[in-house]
A and B are shown apart, each in its own frame.
Chain A
C-alpha cells in the first residue's frame, strides 16, 4: 500500500483531505512532509481557504515552538481528520488529530528620523506540514529515492 508523494522543488508534497469536525469545514490540503518537524500544522493559506477563523482557535500554551523564522504565535486546531491516499485508493484515515497554526508576522511601519515613513513587511509563507508525529503514530514508512524520482509513504 503506497500513498504517493510528489517531489516539487525538492520538497515532498502529499495530498490529503482535511475534515475540521469542530468547525464543520473540509477540503483538500497539500502537506509538505517535514521529517524535521515533530508536529503537524495547517498553513495560513489553507486555514483561510478552508474558511477557518483564527479567532476560534485556542492559544497553544505548551512548550514554545520555534523554526528558522524564530518563534511564532501558535494556535491549536482540534479535531481534524485527515484522509491520505484517496487518489490511489490507498486511504489512510488519521482521525481527530490536533494540528497547529502558526500566525504570520504582522506588518510594521517604521518612522525614520527624516520624517519619511517606510513600511517594512515580512514575507511569511507557512505551508501545511505533515510532521513525524503522524508518520510515527500511524506506522508510516517514508520511501524516498531522488534518483529514481520515486517517493511514497508506505507501511511495514
Chain B
C-alpha cells in the first residue's frame, strides 16, 4: 500500500465493499460496451449510449441529453457505474 495523507479508504469515509462493487460494475459495463461496439454502430450510429447490466440502457444524440435522461430514469442509481461512450457510425481511431 502506498500511503500519502491517507492510509485507508475508511479514512476518506468510504466503504470498501461498496467502492469495489461500483468499480467492478463499471468495468463490467465497459467491457460489454467494448465487446459489442461493432454491432452498436449499426443500431446507434453517432449516438451516445449508456450501458448497464449488459444492455444499452439509454441512448441520445448529445451527451448532456443522455445524462439528463439517465438522471430521470435511474434516479436511485449511481451514474458513474454506467459505461457511457460515443458510438461512431464508422470506426474512429481516437488520439489524445
Q: Which A residues form the contact surface with B (CB < 8 A)? A: 1, 8-9, 15, 17, 19, 26-30, 32, 34, 36-37, 44-46, 48-51, 67-68, 81, 83, 85-87, 89-96, 104, 107, 123, 125, 127, 129, 138, 155
Contact = CB atoms under 8 A, between A and B. Distances in A.
A29 B23 CA distance: 8
B31 to A, nearest CB: 9
A17 B96 contact: no
Contact of B22 (A19, A28, A45): A28
Interface residues of B, number: 39
Contacts of B9: 83, 86, 91
Contact of A93 (B2, B26, B88): B2
A49 B82 contact: yes
Contacts of A90: 1-2
A138 B23 contact: no
A104 B86 CA distance: 13
B3 A37 contact: no
A48 B19 contact: no
A62 to B, nearest CB: 19
Contacts of B63: 44-45, 48, 104
